[in-house]
Structure 1
Amino acid sequence: MNSDSMQRVAVVGVGGAIGEAFCRALLDKPSIQQVFALGRHPAPLAEISEKVTPVAVNIRDEASIQAAAEHIDDNHLDAVIIASGMLHDDAVSPEKRLAACSSEAMHQLFDVNAVAPLLLSKHLAAKLKRNAEAKLAILSARVGSISDNRAGGWYAYRASKAAVNMLIKGMSIELGRQDKSLTVVGLHPGTVDSRLSAPFQANVKPGKLFSPAQSAGYLLSVLDGLDSRHTGRLFAWDGEEIAP
């Protein structure tokens, strides 16, 4: 199923630049009937379109995730897109040296980038249509590729994204046994012009800094071209498969 034929989609992380861009891009599709917008403060997105159903959720609280999922009927969605994630905040920044690593940063990034997508998938997978080529997509990152790591550093972020890549693989196997038409994939959005990337844009090559709308559009196009043959794998914004 491609995004031009999807009718109902849930997007998690709508408070972020890419999550909101996914919502807007989906609403441009004539087939879309409903977008469930999940985030801490999703209510303003309801002003975009009557097709948006805002659902408040704290992705670091499983009870909140479960409550949010109860707003969606089982066997109801064509796709779930988990676009939440964390690279840094006022207290945490990517480590350039081993000496800069801390237990607090490691726990926080694993919680947001790996545990949260796992628990969101746990509660939202049942909402996907069965035997209907539904899709579960989770934002990951190229830096989570172990074989592609040539620069070192960024220990907590790299490790948390490597972890979510393994979780995607595991979920693709289990959920694929229940529904062979289901596609579970990771998506790398490239470098997006947002608060997340703002401190690190100086070294981005010309033409490789995308607006949120660009990145979301690229990723929806990539997702359109994926099916159950590609499940369990990680793909970049340009369709390139990224090695584990």
Structure 2
Amino acid sequence: MAKKTDVTVEEKLRALYDLQLIDSRIDEIRNVRGELPLEVEDLEDEVAGLNTRVKKLEAELEVSDNDIKSKKILIDDSKAAIKKYSEQQKNVRNNREFNALSKEVEFQELEIELAEKHIKEYRAQIEQKKEIIAQTQERLTDREKHLAHKKGELDAILAETQKEEEMLMQKSNEFEGQIEARLISAYKRIRNNVKNGLAVVPVERGASGGSYFTIPPQVIVEISGRRKIITDEHSGRILVDEDLAKEEQEKMSSFFSKI
């Protein structure tokens, strides 16, 4: 097998154009998926966030319930204390003891009043949180249904295209391995710099594919000679002649049909 350095310019051009045809096919497959993978990812993040919010609110509800229970225990304790102090007032020996017990009773009554106020606040918070939980659950159910639908769409597309994409990726890597690193680097740089990912294009009607800029006749002759790598001065794309392009398109169409 010839080394990369022994490969002719024509062979390099054919390999580059074949690589372009394969990568363009991969681009088409990925375009079919479009924004679906990102949509699914965003929906998964949103669902996870809503689940976290519901759990947080439910934990806060539990805290509020425990706070109410604590306040009710405090109220019961204060009522027991009031009963005890009231009984003691019946057996006091002087006004000083009576007044001291009266202050204790007054303090416990204030404790009860404050505890009841807190219970009222906690219950209002609970009702508010329950309403937010209900709204969040409704949103969560809607987002989960939407996520299931989008995942179904994505799974269906993947089922149709994943095998083909994997085979094409493998073939793309094989072609890259047949082309010298310098050309692959230039090819990838051009692909990244153009919107449609076309780094290697044929000459069509005297202009580079997809371009309105005409190519001088002498340059077209050089491209047809296949003796050196020529790039379009306007777009930077690598140029191949129309006959070579047709031959490789037919060859690769046959390959694609077998996948």
- Which of 1 and 2 has greater Rg? 2
Q: Same fold (TM over 0.5)?
A: no
With structure 1 as the length reference, what TM-score do the two structures score? 0.22
TM (normalized to structure 2)? Answer: 0.22
